[in-house]
Every structure is written in structure tokens, then in C-alpha cells.
Amino acid sequence: MKKNDSLAIHGGKPVRDTYLPYGKQWINNDDIEAVIDVLKSNYITTGSTINRFEKSVSEYVGAKYSVAFSSGTAALHAACFAAGIETGDEVITTPMTFAATSNSVLYCGGKPVFVDIDPQTYLISPEQVANHINAKTKAIITVDYTGGPADYNEIMKLAKEHDLIVIDDAAHALGSTYKGEKIGAISDMTMFSFHPVKHITTGEGGVITTNNKAYYDKLILFRNHGITRDPRLLSLSHGPWYYEMQTLGYNYRMTDIQAALGLSQLNRLDAFLLKRKTIANEYTKAFQSIKSVRVPMNLGDRESSWHLYVLRLDLTKLRVDRGTIYLALTEENIGVNVHYIPVYYHPYYRKLGYQKGLCPNAEKLYETIITLPLFPSMSQRDVDDVISAVQKVLGYYEV
């Protein structure tokens, strides 16, 4: 974008004087006190706070078991381990996600198989999943993109027919529902992320929820170096001090400090979700009449938790490309982003042999989307500024 174009939009002055990020944590005094209490206690890691946090997550989503990890990526890695992914196995997933989704397959020696999205919902296409299942397929990793649940009736039906494991990357979807049921107990294993821009935060952190005891036991083992002290699992015993490393695991433990923050944040989750939904509704109402954009579609039987609000540009009605719109909004001090670059575009994946053209719908989507700021601590002025900036920039560049 040329500088004179920028000035022509602004009239010399941006909508905002200060920068508004696309996402941000909301920490209050209760959160701080919860962390301080743990810091003053005897256990700042491997203590009882982690167990209480896991139990609270399980109760919230309706799953029997939860296992907390140091990050969402660690949790996905553990889920692939528990699923038995190994060299020679293929795992079907979507490219419209953060790289950690498919990286977790690579960590276990498996091969990610990227399939296209539904062009209306932007979610993994069950039809495309079905077209790519073969004798090497071991699992499906769905992604609840922006908070919208995948089509689990169809996905789970395919999994049952072909004896596949379904791992739900629900990093965006804590609090989302599918046909009235909370995400977290529908798939075989579900991952939630607690990164600062997510619905609740533990700083860094993640969790796997499941109803399967065998998966639960493997997850517990994997996050602690593959080591167990459980007398029922030991091959022998030298005494009460004895433990065994039974598989090659990792140090993926969450600390009690993180868990305390997570527990405190859980108390406000429903309020956070309501605020996200309110902001999303305001955006949709303001933007649905703009001819150069498409607002997110109503998923009907699915309730999004609105991790992200993604506008899709109609470039045929704009005289510039997405990059120019992006830069113009940032010059209005609106912290827009793009979610996501198709995973197989990254140089590492290209070295593995993945090429552009694999998923045409996902690639077209990538070229036209912009993520707007959306987080619970946004003020009404913040929301109004985003709306004003979008209307201002698109109004200037529309054909």
C-alpha cells in the first residue's frame, strides 16, 4: 500500500490512537491471588492443584478423564502417542490450522494427510475424509476452526466404519457445543489449549479429555518421562521407592502454578464465552450488509465458542488485494491477523514433498481472510473502533 493511499483513508488520523491486539488474556485479582496461594504452598508442581484443575475441566465438558500438559502441542503429541501413531501410519487432518496439529503426527513418525475443507463452514470435509481413507489410515484429527465444531456425526460414523481413532484439536472450542453436547466428550480424545489468546489461560498449557481409560493411562505415562510408580503396573519392585520407565515419554507436566490460574479462570469461562458471542454478533450485524465481505455462517446445530472472528473478503468487489486491506487496518491501529497459512505451505512441509494444490478450497480461503480482534476484555469502544475501521477501509477500497 502506498503511503498516499494510507493518508487518503485516514484523512491524516487513524480510528484509534493506540494499538488493539487481535487477542489477549484477562487476568484479575482472583487469578493473581490463586497463583500466590500456590507459590506460598509446599507444592508448586506435581501437587493436588493439577488434579483439581483436571477434575474441573472434566466436569465442565462432560468427560470422564482429563490430563493436563505443559502446552496444547504437548497434549496433541501425547494424544497421537496414546492413539498408537507410528512410522507407516497416516493421519487425516485439515491444513487450516496451526502447524502443531500435524506436527504431532510427525513427532510420532506418522504421515499427515491433508484433506480439503467445506467451502461454506471452513471445517474439515467429511466427504474429503472418506475419499482419503486407506489401509494405512490410523486416525483422523479434526480441527474446530475458530470455535465451530466439525461435523462429528459424519466423522465418527466414518471412524467407526474403518476402525479409526478421532482426535479433536479443539484449541479454539472450549465451550462450543455440537447438537447440544459440549465439545470434549464426543471424539476419542479432545485437546484444549490454554495459551493466553484462548478462552481461558494457564500461561502456556493444554489438556486432553477422554472417556477411554486405556488412553488416559497412556497419557499419564507419556507426560512424565514414561515413568510410573503405580504398583499395579510395575514389572517388579525393589521397595516403596521403586519406579519404572516403561516407555519413552517426555517431561510434559503442567505446574500447579499454571493449574491454579486455570482453575480461577474457569470460574469466569461462561462470562468470557457470553462476551465473545456478544462481540461476534455485533460484528455480524455491522458487516453483513457490506458487499465486499462474507461474515461467518450460522452452523445451525452447532454453537461456536468464538475463539476467532474471520471475515472473508470478496476480492472481485475490491480494487486491492488482501494484503493492502490488512495493512490499512493495521494503520488504523486494529491488530488484525490471518488464520491460517495452510500448513503444507511452510518450507519444512515442502521439503517433505507436500505441494500447493492439495486443498483448493483451503488455499482460496487463505487468500481472502482476515481475523478481527475478539477477546472478553474488549470495551464497547474497542468493538466500535473495529467496526468503524473495517467500514472505513472497505468503503474506501470497494469497487
Catalytic sites, residue numbers:
198
Q: What are phi and psi of 178, to 5 degrees?
A: -125, 115
- 375 - beta bridge partners? none
The residues near 192 (Cβ < 8 Å, ≥ 6 apart) are 57, 61, 72, 75, 170, 171, 173, 174, 184, 198, 206, 207, 209
The residues near 34 (Cβ < 8 Å, ≥ 6 apart) are 260, 261, 263, 264
- 243 - beta bridge partners? none
The residues near 51 (Cβ < 8 Å, ≥ 6 apart) are none
At 167, list the grid cell.
Answer: 482426535
Q: Which residue type does 27 have?
A: I
| Helix segments in the chain, DSSP class H | 3-10, 29-39, 48-61, 72-82, 100-107, 126-132, 152-162, 213-222, 256-266, 269-287, 322-331, 347-351, 360-366, 380-397
- Angstrom CA distances, 161 to 4, 74, 133, 157, stand at 60, 29, 11, 6
- Tell me which residue of 78, 69, 76, 83 sits closest to 100, measured CA to CA: 76
- 181 - beta bridge partners? 178
